[in-house]
Amino acid sequence: MSWFLAFAGFAALIILHEFGHFTAAKAVGMRVERFMLFFPPILAKVRRGETEYGVGAVPLGGYVKISGMSPNEELPPEVAPRAYLRQPVWKRVVVIGAGPAMNLLIAFVLIFGLFVAKGVFRSDIVVDQIQAGTPAAAALQPGDRILSVDGRPGYVRGLSDHEVAARQRALRREVNTHGCAATPPKNGCRATTAAAVVVKRDGRQLTLHIRPRYDAQAKAMLLGFVYGGRYDRLAPGPAASQTVTGMWNITRLTVSSIVKIFYDPQARKQVSGVVGSYEATRQSFQFDTVRAIQVLAVISLSLAVVNLFPFLPLDGGHIFWAVAERVRGRPIPFRVMERASVVGFMLVAFLFVVGLSNDIGRLTGEGFGAR
C-alpha cells in the first residue's frame, strides 16, 4: 500500500503543477496541444477538442505543450494568433508562473490542514517508539518519561521546545559516553557499562540499568527508542501564520542548500533526487501518514522554489526572459536565450546526477532517514 500511496502522491504533485499551466493557458486564450502525465514513450492518449491528453512510460515528471513556444515552430494561420510567443508578456508570465504557484498552494493547503486538524508537534522527553531487538526493547515502554540518565536531568513538566531539545541532546551525549570494548567499535557491540535510566511509568519511578549498543549508521551508542510528544491544535489564524513562516524557512533552506552544493561536499551529500524523494515518501507512509503528508508538502514547496530559478528550461527561466523582453521593449533574440539555456541545462543535469548518485548510495546501505 505504501508504494501505491507514494506513487499517487507524486502523480498528484505532477498533475496539479501541469494543471496550473494548462488552466492558465486556456484562461488567457492560448492553444494547448498536449497535456501529458510522465514522459514518452506514450502508453495511452485521448483527444478532447484541440488538446491531446496522455500518460507516458517514464514517471519523472510531465508537461503541457502550448503552441508557438519556439519562434521556429510552423503554425496554421488560424492557430498563429494564439501562439505563446504572440501573447503579451503578462499572459506568458501568468501561464508559466501558474505551475509553481500551484505547488505553493499545495504545500500551503497540506501544511495548513495538518496544523488545523492535527496541530503543531511539541516534542517531549517521553518514549514513543522502540526499535525491536535493541537494548531499550527489553527495558523501556512507550509512554515512559525519561527523568534522568546517569543523573543528568530529563523530563520536567512545562519545559519550552528549546529546553526539551537541549535536554534530549544532553541525554544522547550521556548515553554515548558508555563505550564498547572494541576499538574501533563494531556495529551492534554492547557497552561495557550500563546507563542508569530513571523513568516514570504509571505513576511509579523506576531505575533501569541498560547497556547501550553501537549503531554504525548513527556512529553513536544508542538505547534504541524514539522520543515522542504531543500535538497542540491551532485555530485557523495562527495555523495560517505558522504555515507561512514554515514555508518561508523551508524556502530559505532550499535556496541556501542549492547554492552550497557547488562548494560544500557535505551539502552535496544531502541532495536527493526523484528516487530518494519517492522512497522517503513511501517509507513515511509506511511509518506515519502525518509524516508522509509533511514530506509531500516539503517536496511540493521545493519543486516550486527550484522551478523558479531564472534559468531555462525551468519555469523561472521563461519568466526571466519574458520580463527581460518587457524591460527591453522588444523580443530577445532566440539564439541568445538558447545560449543562456546551457547554464540551466547544466544546473538541472548537475542536480540530477548528484541526487541520483546519493539515492543509489542510500538505497544500497545508509537508508533515507524517513524514520
- The 10s digit of each residue's pLDDT in 9-68 is 777 888 899 999 999 999 999 999 999 988 888 899 999 989 999 998 887 678 899 998
Three-state DSSP class for residue 85: helix
Mean model confidence pLDDT for the chain: 84
User: How far is residue 273's CA from residue 99's CA, in Å, rounded to a whole number?
Assistant: 20
- The whole-number pLDDT of residue 211 equals 94
- The whole-number pLDDT of residue 71 equals 82
Looking at 18, 74, 78, 279, which residue is catalytic? 18
- Contacts (Cβ under 8 Å, ≥6 apart) of 182: 189
Burial class, 132, CB count within 10 angstroms (exposed 0-12 / middle 13-18 / buried 19+): exposed
User: How far is residue 209's CA from residue 226's CA, in Å, rounded to a whole number?
Assistant: 18
Q: Is the pLDDT of residue 243 over 60?
A: yes
- Give the confidence band of 370 by pLDDT, cuts at 50, 70, 90: very low
Place of cell 526571466: 320
Backbone angles phi, psi at 213, to 5 degrees: -125, 140
Buried (b) or exposed (e) across 327-364, using 16+ Cβ within 10 A?
Answer: eeeeeeeeeebeebbeebeebbeebeebbbebbeebee
Strand ranges, E, within 111-248: 120-130, 145-149, 152-153, 195-201, 204-210, 213-215, 220-222, 225-232
Segment 248-269, tens digit of pLDDT: 988 888 788 777 777 666 655 6
Q: Which domains does the chain have, with CATH numbers?
A: 2-117+275-366 (no CATH), 120-232 (2.30.42.10)
- Give the confidence band of 270 by pLDDT, cuts at 50, 70, 90: low
- The whole-number pLDDT of residue 206 equals 94
- Give the confidence band of 271 by pLDDT, cuts at 50, 70, 90: low
Beta-bridge partners for 130:
225
Q: How far apart are the first and last CA of the chain?
A: 17
Percent of all residues in the chain with a pLDDT value above 90, rounded to a whole number: 42
Does the annotation count 338 as an active-site position? Answer: no
Nearest residue to 47 (alpha-carbon basis) of 27, 25, 30, 32: 32
Joined grid coordinates for residue 128: 514513543
Q: Is the CB of residue 356 less than 8 Å from the CB of residue 271?
A: no
Segment 116-157, tens digit of pLDDT: 988 888 889 999 889 888 999 999 999 999 999 999 999 998
Strand-pair category, 220-222 with 225-232: unpaired
Residue 124 — left, alpha, or beta (φ > 0 → left; ψ -120 to 50 → alpha)? beta
Joined grid coordinates for residue 187: 556495529
Segment 197-211, tens digit of pLDDT: 999 999 999 999 999
- The whole-number pLDDT of residue 92 equals 95
pTM of the full predicted structure?
0.73
- The whole-number pLDDT of residue 361 equals 55
Residue 182: how many other CB atoms lie within 10 Å: 10
User: How far is residue 194's CA from residue 150's CA, in Å, rounded to a whole number?
Assistant: 9
